[in-house]
Structure 1
Amino acid sequence: MRPFRWLPHDGRRHAVNADLVALEQAATLCGVELVVPAARPTKLEWCWPTCSDCDAAWRAAEGILPFPRQEGAASGSRGVRSKTAQHQV
């Protein structure tokens, strides 16, 4: 199981600890205090933009490269290179 999950809150999707339950008070990875809602988020709320600070903290904790990736960076966390890059080595 992954240590974090995403939760829409205040116009953004934030990362929170995966083991939080409804009505529990917590902080997102970016430090925003919230109470986990009892109702499931709506489809529209899942379309809210991702909090960039939560995304950066989540990626660092999971060992995933930052987004957007810099030109020439390996794609994904597995270090897979494009066929073009492989032929240039």
Structure 2
Amino acid sequence: MSFRPFRWLPHNGKRHAVKEDAVACEETTTLCGEEVTIPAGRLGKEEWSWPTCRDCDAAWRAAEGILPIPHQLGAADVSARTPGVPATPR
């Protein structure tokens, strides 16, 4: 069993986060809200190189207590985390 509550799964052109305990052929929901059936077989290398779903990544990071990737933050978020830079209104 994993230490983490989520794992990554290629689906619909992106890598999405799903519950760690999801099993083959089970229907589940990704962290971004997409319905997915866990595949029974192994996925190819191409699928694992798909880009990460930004919404799943943001939800995963929030659940794990990991700061967002800086390039995914808005200007207000960056200035709020940067000492000496005033926050800009949204």
2:23 to 21, 24, 43: 21
What 5-or-longer segments of structure 1 have no aligned partner?
75-89
Q: Which residue of 2 aligns with 1:53?
A: 55
Q: 2-side partners of 1:72 and 1:39: how far apart? A: 44
Q: Which residue of 2 aligns with 1:36?
A: 38
Deviation at 1:73, TM superposition (A): 4.8
Q: 2-side partners of 1:35 and 1:68: how far apart? A: 32
- Residue deviations 1:8-67, cap 9 Å, x none? 001000000000000000000000001000111211101000000000000000000011
Runs of 4+ in 1 over 3 A off after TM superposition: 69-74
Q: Which residue of 2 aligns with 1:64?
A: 66
Local SS of the residue matching 2:62: helix
TM-score, normalised to structure 2, is 0.76
Provide the alpha-carbon RMSD of the alignment: 1.8
> When you count helix as a share of all residues, which structure comes out higher?
2
* Aligned residue identity for 1:14: H
Deviation at 1:72, TM superposition (A): 9.1
Give me the identity figure in percent.
64
Deviation at 1:68, TM superposition (A): 2.0
Q: 2-side partners of 1:40 and 1:54: how far apart? A: 21
